[in-house]
Structure 1
Amino acid sequence: MEMTNQINTTSKRPWYKSMPDPMVLIFGILVATYLLTFVVPSGAFERAVVDGRTTVIPESFALLADAPSVHVFDIFVAIPKGLISAAPYLFIVFIAGGLFHILQRSGALENAIGVAVNRVGVQNRNLIITIGTFIYGFFGVAVGFENNIALVPVAVLISAAVGYSSLVGTVMAVGGIGIGFALSPINPYTVGVAQGIAELPTFSGAGLRTALVLASLALLSLFICKKVTKMDFVEQDGNTGLQKDLSEYTMNRENKLTLIAFVAGLGVMLYGVFANGWYINEIAGLFLLMAIIIGVINKMNANEIVKEMMIGASGVTAGALVIGVAASIQVILDQAQIIDTIVNALSSLIQDMPIAISAIVASVVQGVINLFVPSGSGQAMVTMPILIPVADLVGMSRQLMITAFQVGDGLTNLIVPTSGGTLAMLALGRVSYEQWLKAILPFMLMVYALSWVALFIGQVIGY
């Protein structure tokens, strides 16, 4: 009888609790990628530098006579190479983890959120989650993706303050940022680069993209409030994750100075991103400076600041290492030189189809390519010189093709294991990759359906 009960219990376990560890899952993808090198021949497009950018020459694809070989041992060598190539992501996760541990020790962020939620009223928590989702979506639209990594723990605290788990906060932050970035009408990394290649005015056609991003954020807010808040997660004892009752939170002088330093640091980050082209390394350096300043404000000496930074960094080590292992997939693809072959084969799928259907298929193709070319601007440089002429041949507007590219490239960033920014955010939210997939996949089906309807409408109205 006891054996039967054990079997029944095991068979009733949710599927996500039987998923392998993220390291095992990604290593399995790495092995599958290695096996793919025996099936897909090596090939390359010719490239030319135009206006300082390296772009692909359409119809120049050719198989390589001397195909590079990839050995079994290269699977294991690819992992340290991946860790090295993903170093900027790893270090910003470690440093941001340290920064937010010092913020947590200061109590400033928790006190500020506790006071704010107490004034708004915890009974309005779904309204708080909805507003938070749109705010994070705005940051995704206006600031970018990886640039917002440091804001994820703030959402986790907001979620805790209204009685929800860290999963809710992470979906609010990562989902909001991801949707905003993916469908942004002013995304310089995807829309800007793609429109430059297509010889269209920069950020033209913003109307459909704006409507799509607002509708998608509204859908995400509804999904979080109706579904994610009811999902089983780590907190099962009713604990909000805060140290005190909401009515007990107050702000002292050090808390206010800490928040001023934190907000000022974010302001400097935004200025650096827009005015000076800052990216991961500069932002990580700024986070380190912010951690030191906040530590001094809270009367920590040098040794205490280092100790708290190490504690914070150690808490996100597992998530950071997952980023490096995932980067090894790209190492194998580059070594085997099969990325261009895959792009060439997939791009041929959208020809000889009805235009509206080919736009939808183009978004799917771009999503698959994103697994192999995770950089949005890099993917635009590789695929747009091929797909823009294809759009002209099949009678699709260039604007619609770019929107299809944006949907396929951007949305898949939320689920593919090669997206270093997403994995970095999950690490700071303390949500594992398999828990994230369990939460976000149902929403992904809905937002893809919404986006495909938008692409269909775009073709009908001559977008």
Structure 2
Amino acid sequence: MSGFKFPSAFTILFILIAVVAVMTWIIPAGLYDMSMNEALGRETPVPGTYKEVESNPQGWVDVLMAPIKGLYDPVSYTANAIDVALFVLIIGGFLMVVTRTGAIDAGIGGLLTALKGREILMIPILMTAFAAGGTTYGMAEESLAFYAIVIPIMLRAGYDSLTAVATIMLGAGIGTLGSTANAFATGIASDAAGVSLGDGIVLRLVILASCLAAGIAYVMRYAKRVKDDASNSLVYDQLEEHREAFLGGAEQGALPEFTRMRGIILMLFGLTFVIMLWGVIAQGWWMGEMSALFLGMSILVWVVGWFSSETSLSEGEFIDAFVDGARDLLGVALIIGVARGIVVVMDDGQITHTILNALEGVFGGLGEIAFINTMFGVNIILSFLVPSSSGLAVLTMPILAPLSDFAGVGRDLVVTAYQSASGWVNLFNPTFAVVMGGLAIGKISYDRWLRFVAPLLLILAIIVVAALSVGALGSDAAPVATGDGVVSEQQQSSDPQN
């Protein structure tokens, strides 16, 4: 249609909230009984206890309240979205303070000089680094801190904003898809399924390596085409706008001199992210601690900058820079609450458990390969509804994992199917705040991201389905101990009395 413009992320999400609200008038309300799982420290559904309850259809007031509650209510077993939104605002302030010292632009100039003619190597290096974060601890919201750094570098190197967004989002996302030691996804799912984190790790490593190689090749191919001819960019009509926003309008303009003081500020800048990763992995930090870190480092950068005229900011300039940076990411912070609003409507309308119960009947009588790939497909559907990987694990694994015992498939393979589905969907899921937030920072519309990522999604799905099928063929039936006293065949065979 001539003149048609794809709606913004906010409009898409509000439409989805309204659609889910309509579903609460059609789908019967129901709940599973919940019991405390001591290993997880959370309540989980009890298989076989589903029952219909009085319906609670969501009206227009609930639709309007959903993004508000999405910000301050913990939904789907996740933290309050306001924590994430505040983290994003403080990151914006931190980045602007460092930018006003000239340190980031000077560092970009130094990096491009060092990589002269080999700039494309940034893509495999960065994607591998982000994938390492994804596979070890499920890097998601933390990745939002890196967009404002990588985008200017990619633009200066002759690529586009989409290349930078893809490098971060696909790197971290593919890492999460192929989670190995991710306690927030694979660890929780394994505990809920009654298997160890190490069970199935070889297959997950194969999936991680294969998918990451495909992702790197895909992004590098696109980036090369853009550098050879800018008109090949999917955001070609926005290039000037992006250069103005991220480079001050001059693609190859003069960069600040790389001085000793700017080098010190860049060291503090890099140290901030090292401390953040250490805190998340080793100390169990979450959004509050990370926000405090970035706030504290903003002040430290300002104080250190006083010792040189080219980096010094007055008290007023420091405050203005911090507020300007936060203002730039305000839309990102708000979209996080709107995205969570979809899950709020589902939970308040009490249809989440009904959908899960209906999917239980899909698996009856399936062979190993059909079973595990159906499990992958079902988790894809559920991942749209519950974008939180940990929330999805707690909700579904107690119900779905025991079904593998009847199909002759190991429960570790069910965990792999779940995490692969969740990771795959969250590469483009409009209900996932990290996707919509990253696109908003990069000024990339959702329809253009879909056009870019769709072929890769097909490639990744084929890789995962092939890996799961091979895993199912080599899987032995191994029911494990459950809360209701079911004993595994492995345990029976290893028990000297049997």
One-letter amino acid of the structure 2 residue matched with residue 361 of structure 1: T
Aligned-pair CA distance for 1:290: 1.7
Q: Distance in 2 between matches of 1:101 and 1:444?
A: 34
In structure 2, relative to structure 1, the CA distance for the partners of 1:275 and 1:134 (3 Å cut) is closer
User: Do the aligned partners of 1:89 and 1:420 also contact (CA within 8 Å) in 2?
Assistant: no
Aligned-pair CA distance for 1:309: 1.4
Aligned-pair CA distance for 1:406: 0.7
Q: What does 1:126-141 align with in structure 2 at a 5 Å threshold?
A: 126-141=120-135
Q: What does 1:179-194 align with in structure 2 at a 5 Å threshold?
A: 179-194=174-189
* Residue segments in structure 2 that go unaligned for 5+ positions in a row: 74-80, 227-231, 306-311, 477-498
In structure 2, relative to structure 1, the CA distance for the partners of 1:217 and 1:414 (3 Å cut) is same
Offset from partner CA, 1:211-246 (integer Å, 9 cap, x none) = 211211111111112236433312169969655759
In structure 2, relative to structure 1, the CA distance for the partners of 1:68 and 1:271 (3 Å cut) is same
Q: Distance in 2 between matches of 1:435 and 1:301?
A: 41
Q: Which residue of 1 aligns with 2:213?
A: 218
Q: Which residue of 2 aligns with 1:61?
A: 50
CA RMSD of aligned residues (A): 2.3
Q: Distance in 1 between matches of 2:24 and 2:268?
A: 50
One-letter amino acid of the structure 1 residue matched with residue 51 of structure 2: A
Q: Distance in 2 between matches of 1:221 and 1:347?
A: 36
After superposing the two structures, state which structure 1 stretch, 453-462 or 138-147, moved more.
Answer: 138-147
1:92 to 87, 91, 108: 87
- Determine if the alignment matches structure 1 residue 32 to structure 2 residue 19: yes
Q: Which residue of 1 aligns with 2:103?
A: 108
Q: Which residue of 1 aligns with 2:409?
A: 396
Aligned-pair CA distance for 1:425: 2.8
Offset from partner CA, 1:393-413 (integer Å, 9 cap, x none) = 111111111110011112211
1:79 to 67, 74, 79: 67
**Could you state the TM-score of these two structures normalised by the residue count of structure 1?**
0.90
- Determine if the alignment matches structure 1 residue 46 to structure 2 residue 38: no
Percent sequence identity over aligned pairs: 28
User: Do the aligned partners of 1:101 and 1:312 also contact (CA within 8 Å) in 2?
Assistant: yes
Q: Distance in 2 between matches of 1:318 and 1:270?
A: 25
Offset from partner CA, 1:239-290 (integer Å, 9 cap, x none) = 6965575997752122111112112222221222123211122212211112
In structure 2, relative to structure 1, the CA distance for the partners of 1:288 and 1:312 (3 Å cut) is same
Q: Which residue of 1 aligns with 2:271?
A: 264
User: Do the aligned partners of 2:160 and 2:233 also contact (CA within 8 Å) in 1?
Assistant: no
In structure 2, relative to structure 1, the CA distance for the partners of 1:286 and 1:429 (3 Å cut) is farther
Q: What does 1:365-376 align with in structure 2 at a 5 Å threshold?
A: 365-376=378-389
- Determine if the alignment matches structure 1 residue 232 to structure 2 residue 234: yes
Offset from partner CA, 1:10-38 (integer Å, 9 cap, x none) = 64x7xxx7311211111111111011011
Offset from partner CA, 1:433-463 (integer Å, 9 cap, x none) = 3333332233222211211111112112338
Q: What does 1:43-442 align with in structure 2 at a 5 Å threshold?
A: 43-51=30-38, 52-64=41-53, 66-85=54-73, 86-121=81-116, 123-143=117-137, 144-227=139-222, 229=226, 230-233=232-235, 234-235=238-239, 242=247, 245=252, 250-298=257-305, 299-442=312-455
One-letter amino acid of the structure 1 residue matched with residue 272 of structure 2: G
SS of the equivalent of 1:55 reads: strand
Q: Distance in 1 between matches of 2:37 and 2:337?
A: 32
After superposing the two structures, state which structure 1 stretch, 384-393 or 416-425, moved more.
Answer: 416-425
SS of the equivalent of 2:47 reads: coil
Q: Which residue of 2 aligns with 1:7?
A: none
Q: Distance in 2 between matches of 1:265 and 1:209?
A: 31
Aligned-pair CA distance for 1:49: 0.9
Aligned-pair CA distance for 1:76: 1.4
Q: Distance in 1 between matches of 2:333 and 2:239?
A: 23
User: Do the aligned partners of 2:409 and 2:475 also contact (CA within 8 Å) in 1?
Assistant: no
* Residue segments in structure 1 that go unaligned for 5+ positions in a row: 1-9
After superposing the two structures, state which structure 1 stretch, 145-154 or 330-339, moved more.
Answer: 145-154
User: Do the aligned partners of 2:24 and 2:56 also contact (CA within 8 Å) in 1?
Assistant: no
One-letter amino acid of the structure 1 residue matched with residue 56 of structure 2: P
Q: Distance in 2 between matches of 1:99 and 1:239?
A: 21
In structure 2, relative to structure 1, the CA distance for the partners of 1:265 and 1:331 (3 Å cut) is same
After superposing the two structures, state which structure 1 stretch, 18-27 or 107-116, moved more.
Answer: 107-116
Q: Distance in 2 between matches of 1:146 and 1:238?
A: 23
SS of the equivalent of 1:293 reads: helix
Q: Distance in 2 between matches of 1:412 and 1:403?
A: 14
After superposing the two structures, state which structure 1 stretch, 47-56 or 329-338, moved more.
Answer: 47-56
Q: Distance in 1 between matches of 2:240 and 2:61?
A: 44
Offset from partner CA, 1:68-111 (integer Å, 9 cap, x none) = 24223221122322233421222122111121122222222222
One-letter amino acid of the structure 2 residue matched with residue 60 of structure 1: T
Q: What does 1:10-21 align with in structure 2 at a 5 Å threshold?
A: 11=2, 18-21=5-8
One-letter amino acid of the structure 2 residue matched with residue 225 of structure 1: M
